[in-house]
Amino acid sequence: MPPAQPGPSKPKATMANGTTPKAKPKTRVANFFSDDDEADHERAAAAGAAPANGVVRKKRRLNDKHGKGKARSEELERIAAELLVKRYELPFYQGRRDILSQILDNDTVVIIGETGCGKSTQLGQLLRRHALALEHYGPRGPSVAITQPRRLPTISLATRVAAEMGVAVGGEVGYAVRFEDATSRDTRVRFMTEGVLMRELANDGPQAKKDKGKANGEAKDDTAADDPLNLLLRYDVVIIDEAHERTLNTDFLLGSMKKIQRLRKARAGEGVKPLKIVIMSATLDPVKFTSFFSGAPALHVPGRMFDVATSHTAKPVDDFVEAAADAALMVHTRKPSPVGEMLVFMPGSDEIENLVSLLKRRGNDLAPDATQLQVLPLYASLPATAQSKIFAPVPGNTRRVVVATNIAETSLTIPGVGFVIDSGYKKEKEFIYRASGAIEHLRKMEISQASAWQRTGRAGREMPGECLRLYTEAAFRKMPEFDTPEIQRCNLANAVLQLIAMRQDPFAFEYIDPPSRDSIAAAFRTLAGLGAISSPTDITPLGRQMLHYPLDPEHARILVAAFELGCAAELIDILALVVSGPVFHDRGDTRETAAAARAKFIHRDGDHLTAMNVLRAYLSLRSGDNDDGDDDDRPKAGKGGIGAWCRDNHVNGKTLAAAARVRAQLRMLAERHGADASSSCAGDFSLVGRALLQGLFMNTAVIQADGSYRQTVGSLTVKIHPSSVLAGRKVPAIVYDELAITSAIYARNVSAFDQDLLVTVPWFQKAGAAQPVSRKTV
Ligand code: CDP
């Protein structure tokens, strides 16, 4: 398993059983290639120069007719030609004939390739351009869906591929992520998050269509009307990318796609188009996929790989942030000339930010004439602009140190890395079952051996490298061989609701690795409690209504309650914030000033309405009509604009911008489904508490004599997190978004509510216990 063997890149196909796949009709594919390849060579040769080749000239003439579009189109062409030079070097591009020919000949193909070999960027456009376009799909070519586990890579891949194809995003190439859709009728290469495809399956099924009315401009799956499952006829090829991540959605999609492929095949006689499936994976555990899709060939696309010298610590380290800083500076002083950038793996954003400041501080002590350090953080919730810095050229006389989560393990390739420092930890969502109730939380945990080798391999992509592991060899040997797939450790409520909406039995579903029956049963209990299902096979009208909104079932239930109670304006704002991240910065060094700045937004009922106050101040500022000199009470952006306002108030501008987008989407969806998004509680905030309770009744607790809170469903004792505006206050009952486990069990994002409202929740009515915990006077 350790990385080795530099060498050329030719994909090699093997079947799951180790035999070689059936002979390929090479001539057919080769013919399709010839013209395009010539044009490609021409464009590559002309890259960067004034457009002089035939392809570009022809385009130019065409565009003259469109006047204004001409310059833009030429610019896109020029960039595409430049990028082509880079595409040529990618092992995936070099192996395209074999890859396409395998896809042409098989219903399902598994492609296994080193990160950075070109899987994600190349396949969609190659499918459009070559064999498949001519073979089966007529002049418009095949429609291709490519799923990604995460939002940012989805957007950045679509942007990159559009650039490589010389088109604008949203045309032939587009993307769809939760709360954002940059696709059109013309889109034929559609990058999307796995969650979006899951929702298409659940929302666009035949039953859903009946009550849906107007579709959103997409082709309809009319032939699917009698099928229990939406057949996704709008796609000819579905590519499940980054399948090795084995997210909850990856696993549900793989099972669903396998079934859809079978159903479509069975109806080929009726003219139903076949579905091709391509699974793309890093080199982690490909056997899982080839055996799940028995008969599918596995294509190996080798990347260039140099030797990596790997070392372990002699003793366990106490503080891996300190140890990583020491190791980074040790490497830097030992090999000061900037051969090879450095990549450090840390579990989460907190540790990353700590290490980044530590390294920056210690980097200041380097002699002025020594090679300097440029330290960059990298984690999923970082804004795209900050993430893109890792692709920018490294300044002169500088070594780059990228401090990243496991996002840099397989989903992003950082250029020029020669050294890797591995903390041996990651952060992962974990769902804990207890007799007293379930808790989902983010936990720091050790990585698997497979991850350790992936991290090591990042050092040997472009040069012989070195990997320093901040753990002992014995610790390495004790690590699990592979990661546990998310389906075996997460809350399944959302996925189970979607399966039921597709009329699939969650117990009988074809899983790669089945979840425990307990976790499916827990999902049923949650969904029944929310009123979303009436039995393990039946979704209720309320459940269907909840699926109109791309939210977790708990949050969707709150929204539907808000429509009924007439406080949608407030709850849409609150939910938009809940899904977008923390509103306030909570850094140790500025905690006091932050608290002072926060004071003006505080709502006495708690964090939800406080956050809403911030969002509303931000929106009124953004609408631009408040810097007019009037002496009104609306906030002023001041000279520095919104950025400065966010800084001065210690609020997170990125969260607020995201929340504003989500808010707009939720309002639009509400309107589409005939709900009144602007109804307001008009100052009666008990309505807001009541709506919150309808979804989060499982997350409620009442005060005890000692000032701690005891859960109403379940029996954990929880404390209010110090970051809450309710911290230090005693309120009779609280409702919270989540629990965080550190030295104690803390409730985060907390609001107070009137305990009498518990009777309004059907769960407690059914349980025959209007007040499940006796009321205490405080
Ligand atoms: O999917 P895989 O990891 O095999 O590779 P890829 O994502 O297709 O990346 C191929 C190349 O394109 C790499 O060298 C990346 O650095 C580059 N790339 C990029 O510059 N910008 C992106 N948004 C995605 C990829």
Q: Is 338 in the pocket of ligand 1 (CB under 6 A)?
A: no
The pLDDT of residue 754: 92
How many A from CA of 116 to the centre of ligand 1?
5
Report helix, strand or coil for 238.
strand
The pLDDT of residue 235: 95
């064999």: which residue's tokens?
131
Among 150, 413, 462, name the best residue to mutate to test ligand 1's pocket (greatest count of ligand atoms within 8 A of Cβ).
413
Which range, of 306-320, 566-580, 592-606, averages the lowest pLDDT? 592-606
The pLDDT of residue 319: 95
The pLDDT of residue 753: 95
Report helix, strand or coil for 190.
strand
Q: Is 458 in the pocket of ligand 1 (CB under 6 A)?
A: no
Question: Distance between CA atoms of 431 and 441, rounded to whole angstroms?
Answer: 7
List, in sequence order, every residue forming a beta bridge with 414; answer none if it has no partner: none
Whether the per-residue pLDDT at 55 is higher than 50: the answer is no
CATH of domain 488-546: 1.10.10
Cβ neighbours of residue 398 under 8 Å, at least 6 residues apart? 338, 371, 372, 373, 374
Q: How confident is the model at residue 276 (pLDDT cuts 50, 70, 90)?
A: very high
Question: Distance between CA atoms of 252 and 636, rounded to whole angstroms?
Answer: 48
Select from 340, 356, 330 the least CA-distant residue to 466.
340
Report helix, strand or coil for 203.
helix
Q: How confident is the model at residue 357 (pLDDT cuts 50, 70, 90)?
A: very high
The pLDDT of residue 557: 97
Whether the per-residue pLDDT at 735 is higher than 80: the answer is yes
Q: Which atom of ligand 1 is nearest to the CA of 411?
A: 3
The pLDDT of residue 131: 66
The pLDDT of residue 254: 96
Whether the per-residue pLDDT at 659 is higher than 50: the answer is yes
pLDDT (mean) for 120-137: 81
Q: Is 117 in the pocket of ligand 1 (CB under 6 A)?
A: yes
The pLDDT of residue 390: 87
Select from 355, 346, 459 the least CA-distant residue to 413.
459
The pLDDT of residue 691: 97
Which range, of 237-251, 274-288, 476-490, 607-621, averages the lowest pLDDT? 274-288
Question: Distance between CA atoms of 332 and 468, rounded to whole angstroms?
Answer: 13
* Domain 38-301 superfamily per CATH: P-loop containing nucleotide triphosphate hydrolases (3.40.50.300)
Between the alpha carbon of residue 170 and those of residues 133, 159, 182, 191, 369, the distances in Å are 20, 9, 5, 10, 48
Q: How confident is the model at residue 714 (pLDDT cuts 50, 70, 90)?
A: confident
Q: Write out pLDDT tens, residues 315-324.
A: 999 999 999 9
HEC readout, 565-632: HCCHHHHHHHHHHHCCCCCECCCHHHHHHHHHHHHHHCCCCEHHHHHHHHHHHHHHHHCCCCCCCCCC
pLDDT (mean) for 677-704: 95
Q: Is 116 in the pocket of ligand 1 (CB under 6 A)?
A: yes
Q: Is 118 in the pocket of ligand 1 (CB under 6 A)?
A: yes
Which range, of 49-58, 117-126, 226-235, 680-689, averages the lowest pLDDT? 49-58
Q: Phi and psi (nearest 5°) for 521?
A: -65, -40
The pLDDT of residue 687: 96
Question: Distance between CA atoms of 664 and 572, rounded to whole angstroms?
Answer: 9
Q: Which atom of ligand 1 is nearest to the CA of 415?
A: 16
List, in sequence order, every residue forming a beta bridge with 444; answer none if it has no partner: 427
Q: Is 303 in the pocket of ligand 1 (CB under 6 A)?
A: no
Q: Write out pLDDT tens, residues 520-573.
A: 998 999 999 999 999 999 999 999 999 999 999 999 999 999 999 999 999 999
Instruction: Please check whether residue 136 is in contact with residue 236, taking contact to mean a CB–CB distance below 8 angstroms.
Output: yes
Give burial (CB, 10 Å; 0-12/13-18/19+) of 317: middle
Whether the per-residue pLDDT at 304 is higher than 50: the answer is yes
Average pLDDT across the chain, whole number? 83
pLDDT (mean) for 243-260: 94
Pairing of strands 12-14, 173-177: unpaired
Question: Distance between CA atoms of 264 and 275, rounded to whole angstroms?
Answer: 7
**AA letter at 493:** A
Whether the per-residue pLDDT at 590 is higher than 70: the answer is no
The pLDDT of residue 764: 83
CA torsion angle 143 148 151 157 (round to 10): -60
Q: Write out pLDDT tens, residues 102-122.
A: 998 999 999 999 888 899 999
Q: Is 391 in the pocket of ligand 1 (CB under 6 A)?
A: yes
What's the pTM value of the predicted model, to 2 decimals?
0.82
Q: Which CATH architecture has domain 308-483?
A: 3-Layer(aba) Sandwich (3.40)
CA torsion angle 359 364 368 371 (round to 10): 10
Q: Is 410 in the pocket of ligand 1 (CB under 6 A)?
A: no
Percent of the chain predicted with pLDDT > 90: 54
Largest Cα–Cα distance of the chain, in whole Å? 84
Give burial (CB, 10 Å; 0-12/13-18/19+) of 511: middle
Whether the per-residue pLDDT at 591 is higher than 60: the answer is yes
């509303």: which residue's tokens?
616
Give the pair of three-digit tokens for residue 353: 């930010």
Q: Which atom of ligand 1 is nearest to the CA of 391?
A: 20
List, in sequence order, every residue forming a beta bridge with 402; answer none if it has no partner: 343, 376
Q: How confident is the model at residue 434 (pLDDT cuts 50, 70, 90)?
A: low
Whether the per-residue pLDDT at 778 is higher than 60: the answer is no
Q: Is 120 in the pocket of ligand 1 (CB under 6 A)?
A: yes
Give the pair of three-digit tokens for residue 84: 């082509």
Q: Phi and psi (nearest 5°) for 64?
A: -55, -35
Of 1-10, 225-234, 300-309, 677-686, give the range with the top mean pLDDT: 677-686
Question: Distance between CA atoms of 211 and 201, rounded to whole angstroms?
Answer: 15
**AA letter at 294:** S
Give burial (CB, 10 Å; 0-12/13-18/19+) of 634: middle
List, in sequence order, every residue forming a beta bridge with 735; answer none if it has no partner: 700, 751
The pLDDT of residue 640: 67
Q: How many degrees, rounded to 5, is the angle at CA 525 between CA 519 and CA 530?
A: 130
Whether the per-residue pLDDT at 215 is higher than 60: the answer is no
Q: How confident is the model at residue 589 (pLDDT cuts 50, 70, 90)?
A: low
Q: How many degrees, rounded to 5, is the angle at CA 677 between CA 675 and CA 679?
A: 105
Instruction: Please check whether residue 642 is in contact with residue 653, taking contact to mean a CB–CB distance below 8 angstroms.
Output: yes
Domain boundaries in the chain? 38-301, 308-483, 488-546, 553-777
Question: Distance between CA atoms of 126 and 130, rounded to whole angstroms?
Answer: 6
Instruction: Please check whether residue 231 is in contact with residue 223, taking contact to mean a CB–CB distance below 8 angstroms.
Output: yes
Q: Phi and psi (nearest 5°) for 445?
A: -145, 165
Question: Distance between CA atoms of 298 and 112, rounded to whole angstroms?
Answer: 7
Q: What's the complex ipTM? A: 0.97
Among 160, 278, 458, name the best residue to mutate to test ligand 1's pocket (greatest count of ligand atoms within 8 A of Cβ).
160
Question: Distance between CA atoms of 371 and 362, rounded to whole angstroms?
Answer: 13
Q: How confident is the model at residue 205 (pLDDT cuts 50, 70, 90)?
A: low
The pLDDT of residue 40: 62
Question: Distance between CA atoms of 161 and 167, rounded to whole angstroms?
Answer: 9
Cβ neighbours of residue 268 under 8 Å, at least 6 residues apart? 274
Instruction: Please check whether residue 454 is in contact with residue 410, taking contact to mean a CB–CB distance below 8 angstroms.
Output: yes
Q: Which atom of ligand 1 is nearest to the CA of 280?
A: 1
How many A from CA of 649 to the centre of ligand 1?
38
Whether the per-residue pLDDT at 656 is higher than 90: the answer is yes
Q: Which atom of ligand 1 is nearest to the CA of 156?
A: 23
The pLDDT of residue 637: 59
Q: Which residue has the higher pLDDT, 40 or 577?
A: 577
The pLDDT of residue 437: 56
Percent of the chain predicted with pLDDT > 70: 80
Which range, of 33-42, 175-184, 388-397, averages the lowest pLDDT? 33-42
Q: Tell me which DSSP letter residue 294 carries.
A: T
How many A from CA of 120 to the centre of ligand 1?
7
pLDDT (mean) for 213-221: 40
Q: Which residue has the higher pLDDT, 311 or 285?
A: 311
Select from 378, 379, 375 the least CA-distant residue to 342.
375
Q: How confident is the model at residue 313 (pLDDT cuts 50, 70, 90)?
A: very high
Q: Is 94 in the pocket of ligand 1 (CB under 6 A)?
A: no
**AA letter at 272:** V
**Fold agreement (308-483, 488-546):** no
Report helix, strand or coil for 18.
coil
The pLDDT of residue 377: 94
- Sign, CA dihedral 539-543-549-553, equals negative
Q: Which atom of ligand 1 is nearest to the CA of 301?
A: 4
Q: Is 124 in the pocket of ligand 1 (CB under 6 A)?
A: no
- Sign, CA dihedral 82-83-88-90, equals positive
The pLDDT of residue 623: 81
The pLDDT of residue 134: 60
Q: Is 283 in the pocket of ligand 1 (CB under 6 A)?
A: no
The pLDDT of residue 37: 55
Radius of gyration of the chain (CA): 27
The pLDDT of residue 636: 54
How many A from CA of 90 to the centre of ligand 1?
9
Q: Which residue has the higher pLDDT, 8 or 236?
A: 236
How many helices and strands (H and E) does the chain possess? 29, 24
The pLDDT of residue 67: 53
Q: Where are the alpha helices (DSSP H) in 639-717?
A: 641-648, 653-672, 686-696
Whether the per-residue pLDDT at 579 is higher than 70: the answer is yes
